[in-house]
Amino acid sequence: MHFFGISTTLLLQAGAGLAAVVVALYILRLRRRPASVPFAKLWQRVLRDKESSALFSQLRRLLSLLLQLLLLGLLLLALADPRPSAPAAGARHLVVLVDASASMKATDVGPQGAAAAGPAGAVASGPRSRLELAREKVRELGRSLSGADAMLVAQMDAALTPLSSMTSEPAEIEQAARRLAAVDVRAALAPALRFALDALRALSRPEIVVVSDGALGEPSDAAGPVDLGDVPLSFVPVGKGGRNVAVTGFAVRRYPLDKSRYEVMLEATNAGDEPEDVELELYGDGELSDIVALRLGPHESRSRFYPNLSGASRTLEARIALRGGGRDVLPADDRAFALLPERRRARVQLVTAGNTYLEAALLLDEYLEVVTVPPGRYPAAGAFDVTIFDSVGPALAPHSGHVLYLNPSGEHLPFKLGPEIKSARGRNVGFDELDAHSPLLRHVSLGDVNVARAHVLEGTKEDRAVGRSERGALLLQGRRQGTRFVALGFDIRESDLPLRIAWPLLLLNVISDFIEEDIGYVSSLRTGDVWHVPAPGQAQTGRLRLPDGSEQVVPIKDGRAVFLGRHAGFYTLLVREGAEERTSMFAANMSDPVESAVKPATELRVGARQAGELAGFAVGARRRWWIYLIGAALLITALEWLGYHRRVTV
Amino acid sequence: MRRALACAAAPLSRSAARPRAQEPLFDEEFQRKLEYLALVSRRVFSGAMKAERRTKKTGSGVEFADRREYVAGDDFRHLDWHAYGRFDELLLRLFEEQEDLSIYFLLDSSWSMGFGSGAKLRHAKRLCAALAYVGLANLDRVAIVTAGDRVTGRMPPTRGKARIFRVFRFLEAVSPDGDTDLGAAARAFAAQHKRRGLAVLLSDLYDPAGFESGINALRYSRFEPLVLHIVEPADRAPLLKGDLLLRDCESGEEREVTVSGRVLARYGQAYDAYLESVRRFCTAKRVSYFAADVRVPFDELILRLFRRGGFLR
């Protein structure tokens, strides 16, 4: 047995003290009231017969005292709130997985009810969302628990968040229900089911309840399909309607050779069963820059391109709405966000004895301020964002920024120069393996580059080989003490690379990657993913301001802030370095056609098993012993009162 | 004083209500009833000074009582010539003596009579006054003595209806005082009153030494006792319950008792047995006995007494 009220020590102390008080009061109560009679002799005749029952009278007094002490004991025990240490056999254990994905924000289930308090007790107004209905379902389940049944409430979105312990406490369940909040992500069902199975291990009568509109991911992950075993699965569907239009794609990119201009791709989707007339709006820095009307067929997605745009310096936003004032049940996917990174002039220090191909390529970007320095006069005055060492490898001077090594040599290299490799007859040196996902190689094709001679580059295990020949890395990327470097293991003049368009693109990609101006990655991040956002400075933590204005501390690892994004909108990362606080912005979108397809599902399948309906719950008495103890105490009080006044217990 | 408070502190025993001191004891209604009672009783009283009660003494009355032999010096006017003609003997006729009766009222004024609301003493006073008026109306000599364990008050013998107000004043001034010792009180009474007569004992008979001693003392002193036993229902069924310390209002004797329904029932039985023992004793000793319940109006009680006899002949 466990005591959930007052502690055992306090219980015993209070019991001893109060018992002494009860005995003292009882002794006082035994004092007789004086009463006059006109002729005591008559009483003597009566009391002579009563002498033999004195012992019985004493016993009745003792009975009354024992009843008083029993009463005290019951009350104290009730205060201690005893509960069985082990759940009663046959107690049900539930894990309730509540879908908190973006589709649960759909407002298609009617107006707000009486008890519709949400997070932090705020009572929402207006149409009720699916999550509100799910919250009510959780509350109903909590009220329907009987006996020793217990339930655990968990929020299921991109990650699984338990909101309560395995409990039968109404207050804890209510608090968990209040904390449910829908986010702009897709729900991950597989990890949620695995968590539920782990939580229900070795518990009696386990059961999993999924409260959702059915827009869930596949019940499988990297570990394979989820096997529920013998654990029953119930599905509580929420949601009614399916009319929804959404911005399911929004991407922006700068033109590689004219970064002052950009183009936008926008995808609109009609997730409903009926054709819809919609309006697409494009905003740049908050100003409406374009509006177009479209007619989308049932379940149709249509992309629209906006080429050669200029003017916006920072934010881009796309909005979709039904024409004619119709109600879209899921407003969360009607807006998409994108961010244009700031254009600034980057200072580039070029340490070279002369390289026409290199110098010409750098002229293509008007936002580069290039200072050419002969190797003997390195470093140049001032601070630089990027330093390019052409066929040299001196010790890195301060304020050199990040470094690009072309045909490196010398003893101060941050990596090791491997053996020289040469092209031979029938066997050219080139890139045999390329990391196509590297931002350095975006829009760049190096697969057919021919190199006459090169050195293999040997870095540490943290370094990244972006391009490799069969003999080793030829294009290496890494970081040393906060300073990033990229190294190309050959002289471009000993290859045909300068003759290709890939050469200036590669060079500008490297510089852009150094100064965080990735022309292809500029638009937005996707909610539901773990973001690694470039963080300025050397700090270990930063503050992330979310679209709703709240802030959260995020860790920074290897120059990137790590965060699981759940909301669409604009984010601001603040990193303090000394007295200076540096900020950077980025955007995030849901862009999930699956979530935008809000038509609720009527069934849920996990593998070959179909989830059943929720059954077997009815309002029942909870096994709270303190209730019965109080009842027993009241009953004994009544009996003692009756006995005292009937002179049964004196 | 303490006992007076104890006996008067009825709420402790919850036995009776407080005395209604504000009600006059002998109001006009009471006096009207007295006149009625006197009329009813008129046909049975007689006395020597034209009082209306006969005695068994032979004397100069007109009622023939008996004969005896003539001796020199007897009054020859009372010779029974009819008997001489028949028996050839000189016999003298004897006549009953007619003289007035002394009625003594021995009023128990002990603490027990004043216990609770004092209804017993009040009732006893009314009975005493009513019977005294009947006696006075029939030209008897009436005297009242109050006693507990001793004679505490005395109204000398008096006669004539007009003296009733003296009786009233005397009785109104009586208050409960002293323990009950009927034997000592009766002996003291007998020693103070040589002229014998009817001794009406008005008491609740709560004598620790036994009620017999008082009645016997009157008998042995050649008084004719008439016992008016004053009873109160609250004495039989007191409102007592629980763990109590019973205290006798006269002796102060204390006794712990736990009063339950059963105990009360047994007490009632003991009380009834006590009343029955008094009745049986009086019957055995040929003493007139009458139980006077305080709930019954005094006039009705007296009429019952008249019907039963013992006070009127």
pLDDT in tens, A282-299: 888 888 888 889 899 999
Where does residue A163 rank: exposed (0-12), middle (13-18), buried (19+ CB within 10 A)?
Answer: buried
Of B245, B270, B271, the CB nearest to A35: B245
Find the chain B residues whose C-beta atoms sit closer than 8 A to any C-beta of A. 6-7, 9-10, 12-13, 15, 111-112, 115-116, 204, 206, 208, 235, 238, 240-251, 253, 255-261, 263, 266-267, 270-271, 274
User: Does B6 sit within 8 Å of A46, measured CB to CB?
Assistant: no
Write down the pTM of the prediction.
0.49
B204, pLDDT greater than 70 = yes
Q: Which residues contact B76 (CB under 8 A, 6 or more apart)?
A: B70
- Beta-sheet pairing, A258-270 with A301-309: antiparallel
Listing from the earlier edge strand, what are the strands of the sheet with A530-534? A525-526, A580-589, A569-577, A541-545, A551-557, A560-564, A530-534
A452, pLDDT greater than 90 = yes
User: Does B242 sit within 8 Å of A36, measured CB to CB?
Assistant: no
Pairwise CA distance, residues A419 & A56, whole Å: 112
Residue-level pLDDT at A519: 39
Residue-level pLDDT at A493: 94
Of A30, A45, A647, the CB nearest to B261: A647
A68, pLDDT greater than 90 = no
Residue A482 identity (one-letter amino acid): G
Whether chain B has a CB inside 8 Å of the CB on A43: the answer is: yes
Residue-level pLDDT at B100: 61
Nearest CA among A279, A256, A280 for reference residue A508:
A256
Positive or negative CA dihedral for B29, B31, B36, B37? positive
B267, pLDDT greater than 50 = yes
Residue-level pLDDT at B15: 40
Least confident of A16-20, B27-31, B155-159: B27-31
Whether chain B has a CB inside 8 Å of the CB on A52: the answer is: no
DSSP state of A232: -
CA distance A24 to chain B (A): 17
Give chain A's domains with CATH numbers.
Answer: 2-84+633-645 (no CATH), 93-113+123-241+600-610 (3.40.50.410), 245-343 (2.60.40.10), 346-514 (3.40.50.880), 523-587 (2.60.40)
CA distance A624 to chain B (A): 39
CA distance A74 to chain B (A): 27
Nearest CA among A39, A558, A379 for reference residue B112:
A39
Span A246-254, average pLDDT: 85
User: Does A40 sit within 8 Å of B247, measured CB to CB?
Assistant: yes
Pairwise CA distance, residues A40 & A38, whole Å: 7
Cβ(A152)–Cβ(A200) under 8 Å? no
Of B15, B242, B267, the CB nearest to A42: B267
Of B7, B243, B267, the CB nearest to A46: B267
Of B13, B111, B251, the CB nearest to A35: B13
User: Does B248 sit within 8 Å of A39, measured CB to CB?
Assistant: yes
CA distance B69 to chain A (A): 59
Confidence of residue A108 (pLDDT cuts 50, 70, 90): confident
Alpha-helical (H) ranges within chain B are: 2-8, 10-13, 28-41, 81-87, 119-137, 164-172, 182-192, 211-220, 233-236, 261-284, 298-308
A530, pLDDT greater than 70 = yes
> Which tens digits make up the pLDDT trace of A217-237?
778 888 888 888 889 999 999
Span A95-119, average pLDDT: 74
Pairwise CA distance, residues B106 & B190, whole Å: 11
Residue-level pLDDT at B54: 44
**Furthest-apart CA atoms within chain A: distance in Å:** 145
> Which of A351-360, A436-445, B67-76 is modeled with the greatest confidence?
A351-360
User: Does B266 sit within 8 Å of A49, measured CB to CB?
Assistant: yes
Residue-level pLDDT at B95: 60
B14, pLDDT greater than 60 = no
Looking at per-residue pLDDT, the higher value among A343 and A37 belongs to A37
Span B216-224, average pLDDT: 91
CA distance A47 to chain B (A): 7
Q: Identify the residue whose tokens are 């090791």.
A: A416
Residue-level pLDDT at A616: 64
User: Does B255 sit within 8 Å of A42, measured CB to CB?
Assistant: no
Half-sphere exposure (CA, 13 Å, Cβ side) for B96?
13
- Partnered with residue A545 across adjacent β-strands are A551, A572
Span A341-363, average pLDDT: 87
User: Does B246 sit within 8 Å of A40, measured CB to CB?
Assistant: yes
Which chain B residues are within 8 Å of A46, Cβ to Cβ?
263, 266-267, 270
Which chain B residues are within 8 Å of A50, Cβ to Cβ?
257, 263
DSSP state of B179: -
Span A563-591, average pLDDT: 87
A43, A47, A57, best to mutate vs chain B, most B CBs in 10 Å: A43
Mean pLDDT of chain A: 84
Residue-level pLDDT at A584: 83
A341, pLDDT greater than 90 = no
B110, pLDDT greater than 80 = yes
A124, pLDDT greater than 60 = no
A117, pLDDT greater than 70 = no
Q: Identify the residue whose tokens are 């968040």.
A: A161
User: Does A42 sit within 8 Å of B271, measured CB to CB?
Assistant: yes
Q: Cβ atoms within 10 A of the Cβ of A223, count?
A: 9
Q: Which residues contact A642 (CB under 8 A, 6 or more apart)?
A: A648
B313, pLDDT greater than 70 = no
Confidence of residue A114 (pLDDT cuts 50, 70, 90): very low
Which chain B residues are within 8 Å of A38, Cβ to Cβ?
7, 111-112, 115-116, 204, 206, 235, 248-250
Q: In terms of residues, how long is chain A?
A: 650
Confidence of residue A51 (pLDDT cuts 50, 70, 90): low
Q: Which residues contact B184 (CB under 8 A, 6 or more apart)?
A: B149, B150
Residue-level pLDDT at B75: 77
- Partnered with residue B147 across adjacent β-strands are B108, B151
Q: Say how many Å lie between the first and final Cα of chain A, rounded.
A: 36
A86, pLDDT greater than 60 = no
B6, pLDDT greater than 70 = no
Residue A374 identity (one-letter amino acid): P
A610, pLDDT greater than 60 = yes
Interface contacts A/B by beta carbons within 8 Å = 97
Which token pair is A198?
């782990």
Residue-level pLDDT at B295: 93
**Nearest-Cα residue of chain B relative to residue A41:** B208
Mean pLDDT of chain B: 81
User: Does B253 sit within 8 Å of A36, measured CB to CB?
Assistant: no
Residue-level pLDDT at A29: 64
Confidence of residue A24 (pLDDT cuts 50, 70, 90): confident
Pairwise CA distance, residues B134 & B200, whole Å: 13
